[in-house]
Amino acid sequence: MAHRWWGNITFFGAHAVDDPDGPGHITPDPWMARITERGMRLMGIPVGLRVQEKGVTYPVPEPLSEVFDGIAVANSQFDRLDAYVRDYSDGSVSLEWRSGHRPVMSATFVQGSPYVYLSVFRGDLQVRTLEADGQRKGIFYQQGNTLGLWTDVAGNRNHFLLTGHGETEFSGVQGSEITAASRNSHFTLTWLPAGETDPSAAMIEDFITHARQPVDEVRVDYRVDPGDYRVTVSHQYRYRGEPVKTLAGLQPLQWKNSKQVLTDYRARSARGVIRFAETGGFDYQLSFVGVLPGLPSGLGSYEGGRLRALVHDFMTRDPQDWNRATDTYFAGKNYGKVAELALLAREEGLESEANRLIDWLKSELEDWFTADPAEQARYFVYDDRWNTVLGVHESFGTHQALNDHHFHYGYFVRAAAEICRVDPGWCAKDRWGPMVELLIRDYAAGRDDPQFPYLRHFDPALGFSWASGAANYLLGNNNESTSEAATAYGAMVLYGLVTEQPELVERGVYLHASTAAAFWEYWNDINGYRERPETYRNFPDAYDKLTTSIVWGAGHVFTTWFSEAHAHILGIQGLPLSPLVFHLGQHPGYLADYVALGLSESTNGKPSGLEEGHWRDIWWNIWAMTDAEASLGDMAETGFEYTPEEGETRAHTYQWVHAWTELGHLRSGAGQVTADYPAAVVFGSDTQTTYLAYNFGDTERIVSFSDGVRLKVAPGTFGIRKVPSRGG
């Protein structure tokens, strides 16, 4: 397993002190740690966060030193150790340091927890600080088997408790190297959310009370309600297989959507305010927006002849030019756009053109899904050391760091779902279905898969994806394009519906719903936008941006990996535009301001004024979800000689923008209208409410919506019902 907040250890184990090639930190928020050959350096993320020009991050001072701000944990007898992942669960990881093959000590981190659980098998535990007692370090508590110390370095003031699980002796307490000797050699290290002042006696007592109960497993499960496709996510804390009660930290996505009773303890950290609860587990609920394989014909007042001409313009190109990429990302984008175009063409009655596009997709994917020794590119290989599928050629570190598989392979699954929508036999078990499912299993396998780790890219403990496997970064792991992640998970829903696999549909619904909710929670801080009370705001007040683009384990930044242009920084969260990313339209008022910021560097404040390569069509598509008439006007004035973004076609943009002039705004999700079928979505304008569904089954289906509307849908077709608005 990699692609977690601790995935750096899978790849590198320990980073040597002062090793410039090993900056990697792990981020069990509110903790931040660098694992070294001597032990680990530990800090509290909340005390180090700073609002900067391009984001909110922890600019770790002297990051390669054994200790600077915070503390270091080491061993009295060993200083050249190897570190390994000993065990992990959905929300925890246990590390072990060894001398040769012999274990020396271990540590268990739990995402959100104020505790780190330590065991020492040889030697004694040592806690090291930058200086002895003075202005940068001191003792605020010493009683029984617990010692409390603070450090204040570079403006970062931390308060730690070290609690032995049995009789414990501390020596060198006033110095910079404290030794803790305990008969059973088990300890808990606690980070206290005390702020700039010493913690109260009540806080110390409350946190010590739960410190003596270890946690070694967090099980995160989900269930999908077939009545409305609402997702319930449950976290359960365990030790040696048995349920336990702990002082758990809930992230904003969790506590805002939960009925869990919370304490008054909290800390503003990487994602927002962590709230602590005395509990053995908690549940929270998320809405599912719904997905569709595309948009049906007849929405909006587009010119059918113009749309068909745009399809033909694409078809007249040499099919070799439809895709010349040999890497999984740009080839995948080409397959995704052709899948969209094929459905569009079929909806417009262009059967022969649609069939030609589907036949081309079959040929392309079958080429990738087969291999022989003479091939130099366009094949997949299973790597049984890392339990992963690698596509040749790689791009963006998909081999070297196992980066971005969900982004890349999601496009392939999206294309396969469209092929199988019109030719289900292509996805049969004795044809290409197992290869499509191999890609799904790589980036989002179910539990107990014999070849792949569970949900490789999606982090159940946090509710969103991580892009990097190696994560050798100062700020931990990261994720940029939430929309490409949503496309990968939405494609699972489509494919599961096509192939009649309910478990796969539910897994995709869970991943998609959580990705969409996290987008609004952590990338956009929708509660901050609505000026909710300070505790509900995830961005600090001093952060002056509406949104962010790359979420890190220890913060977030307003930039991309490839550009500083606003059109890219905001646009990367909105491509590819399809019914798999309808969640972008959940808050149209916010989206209007989002579009204004994304287009703020345009010469006229519209997509037409963007530089070449700054994704005019992506921005017409996004703008249409909040103000379709304005988007349509700018697109019509510009004409069709622009260069499409790599994953778009002119025909698709033309249809999409026109459709939204009739659809208005999204009404599904966010607690509005729900449906008892995942391929069903509701829209509303000033004049009408539009109900859309696609029936993937082979018998007639009646889709029931939560507002009482029922929609009859024939097999293999779209169903649509338009209800006039009051006064419309």
Residues 6+ apart with CB under 8 A from 65: 17, 18, 41
What is the average pLDDT across 349-362?
98
* Angstrom distances, CA of residue 438 to CA of 305, 328, 441: 41, 15, 5
pLDDT grade for 113, boundaries at 50, 70 and 90: very high
pLDDT grade for 371, boundaries at 50, 70 and 90: very high
pLDDT, position 297: 96
Report yes or no: 661 and 632 within 8 Å, Cβ to Cβ: yes
pLDDT, position 672: 85
What is the average pLDDT across 250-278?
98
Residues 6+ apart with CB under 8 A from 569: 549, 558, 559, 560, 563, 598
User: Where do we find the tokens 């491509």?
Assistant: 575
Q: In the sheet that 55-57 helps form, which strands lie side by side, from edge to edge? A: 50-52, 55-57, 555-557, 550-552, 478-479
pLDDT, position 184: 87
Residue 183 has pLDDT above 90, yes or no: no
What is the average pLDDT across 242-247?
98
**CB-count exposure of residue 552 (10 Å: 0-12, 13-18, 19+):** buried
Residue 728 has pLDDT above 60, yes or no: no
What is the average pLDDT across 318-342?
97
E-strand spans in 217-272? 217-224, 231-239, 242-243, 246-250, 266-268
C-alpha span between 171 and 173 (Å, rounded): 5
pTM, two decimals, is 0.98
C-alpha span between 464 and 458 (Å, rounded): 6
Residue 564 has pLDDT above 90, yes or no: yes
Residue 410 has pLDDT above 60, yes or no: yes
CA 619 centroid distance within chain = 23
Residue 727 has pLDDT above 80, yes or no: no
pLDDT, position 97: 98
C-alpha span between 464 and 486 (Å, rounded): 10
What is the average pLDDT across 252-281?
98
Element holding 56 (H helix, E strand):
strand 55-57
527-562 confidence digits (pLDDT tens): 999 999 999 999 999 999 999 999 999 999 999 999
476-486 confidence digits (pLDDT tens): 999 999 999 99
Question: How many Cα neighbours within 13 Å face the side chain of 575?
Answer: 27
C-alpha span between 498 and 675 (Å, rounded): 19
Name residue 384's beta-bridge partners.
none
What does the block give as tokens for 146?
């617990």
